[in-house]
Amino acid sequence: MATSLSLTEVAALKAEISSAKKTSMNSVRRLLTLMRETQRKDAQLVSTHGDAFLKSSAIKPVPDEERFLIYEQVAIAACECGDVEVADRCVSRLESRFPGSIRAGRLRGMVEEASGDIDGARATYAKLLQEHPSSQMVLKRMVAIERTAGDLQSAIKALNHFLNHYMADADGWAELADLYLEAGMHKQAAFCLEELILIQPHTFCHHLRLGETLLSYATNLEEKIVAYKHLCTACELCAGAHPRVLWSLLACVSSMASKKAGASSSGRGGATAAMEEIDVNVARLASKQLKKLYAKADPDLAATAQAAVLDMLGDIPDCLDD
């Protein structure tokens, strides 16, 4: 797990390795271990230096367990930055040591993807899926490959199939929300974000994204109020410390108060009805907090920010105090 101690060590090692003329193999090995533990990624660094490490004599005393983990790590990094030759070499080594292993098979598929052979990769994964029909690893690759190929609809379909079975995968729901947003299907994206909230209710960014998504396709007051509630929750969870949350909140209030807002389904219409539903105090406090944050972090921008807030909330009575 990523404790702050190990993160600082990672940063220090990275700086040392990138700047040194002759890199120390011990540092490289230590960095690779730390990156595995803390799950930090830096594809180019791992690929180049990892490859050098594997070729050097420093690989000999490394115990088997660690050695093959390093092979896997370097292979994945090489695939990510396109060093196909490096990746191929690592994966062949793994395949010869672990024949028939599903982990090695997935890596082989990734190498094929990286080298552009999409159909070959698809065939590899299909074969793996036949032997291990419930493997999460392979199902995820099926989604990734469609995304690589640029086929949004198939990716969505594949991810839906995956999530239909592994319903607890938070990352999967987040990815599906991204895909839907890319495809412009806001309502479905909102559904995915709600699932995310059910899995991780205390994470403020889920509420933030949900609020923003709802706001972007809301047409009547009820829907905007739902968005507003979620943005309030996001604000509470982040203790009012993130400007983006505050901006979204103000945008939502502004949208609700706008005279152009559509009449709500229950017949009441217009700005005054909206203002009855919500507590203007929140918007006022949010604008004050924004002012404070900008004054602390970036005073030059403060004036522009203030103007924007005025623009959004100026029409609403009691919203701003000076």
Partner 1 sequence: MAPPAKALFSRNSNGSDTDDKEFLIPEHMQNNARVVHWIRQYVSIVAGCVAGVLGLTNVVGFLVYPLFQLLAILIILSKTNSNVDKYFMSTANAAFGGFFDGAMTYLLFWTFVYDIAHLF
Partner 2 sequence: MAAASTTGASSSSALSNSLTLDPAIRTWVLVPISLAMFLIGVIRHHASRLLATGPRKVELKAVRESQAVMRASRLRMNHAWISREASFRMRRAFFNDKKEGVLQQKVKNNNPQAQMMSDPSMMQDMMMKNMSMIIPQSLTFMWVSFFFSGFVMAKAPFPLTQKFRVMLQRGIDISGSLDVTYVSSLSWYFMNMFGMRGLFTLTLGEGNAIDDTALMQQQMEQAGAGMDKANAFVMERENLELIEARDGMVYEKAEERAAKVLKRALRAR
Return residues touching partner 2 (CB under 8 A): 132-134, 164-168, 191, 194, 197-199, 201, 207, 226, 228-230, 232-233, 235-236, 239-241, 249, 278-279, 281-282, 285-286, 288-289, 292
Tokens of 226: 């739902």
Residue 198: contacted member of partner 1, partner 2, none (CB under 5 to 8 Å, by partner type)? partner 2
Of 3, 86, 7, give the one whose Cα is nearest residue 44.
Answer: 86
Q: How far is the CB of 241 from partner 1 (least distance, A)?
A: 10
Element (H, E) at 281: helix 280-297
DSSP 3-state assignment of 231? helix
Q: How far is the CB of 20 from partner 1 (least distance, A)?
A: 29
**CA 99, 102, 104: angle at the middle one, nearest 5?**
60
296 touches partner 1 by CB under 8 A: no
- Provide the mask over 236-255, with x wherever binding to partner 1 is found by CB under 8 A and - wherever it is not: -x-x----------------
Tokens of 166: 């592994």
Element (H, E) at 241: none
Tokens of 322: 């000076």
- Provide the mask over 185-214, with x wherever binding to partner 1 is found by CB under 8 A and - wherever it is not: -----------------x------------
As a whole number of angstroms, the distance between CA 303 and CA 116 comes to: 50
Main-chain phi, psi angles of 274, to 5 degrees: -60, -45
Rg (CA), the chain: 25
Which residue's structure tokens are 């895909």? 179
Q: How far is the CB of 183 from partner 1 (least distance, A)?
A: 33
Residues with Cβ within 8 Å of residue 28, at least 6 apart in sequence:
17, 49, 50, 52, 53, 58
3 touches partner 1 by CB under 8 A: yes
Residue 137: contacted member of partner 1, partner 2, none (CB under 5 to 8 Å, by partner type)? none
- Provide the mask over 145-184, with x wherever binding to partner 1 is found by CB under 8 A and - wherever it is not: ----------------------------------------
Q: Which C-beta is closer to partner 1: that of 239 or that of 296?
A: 239
Residues lying near partner 1 in the complex (CB under 8 A): 1, 3, 202, 237, 239
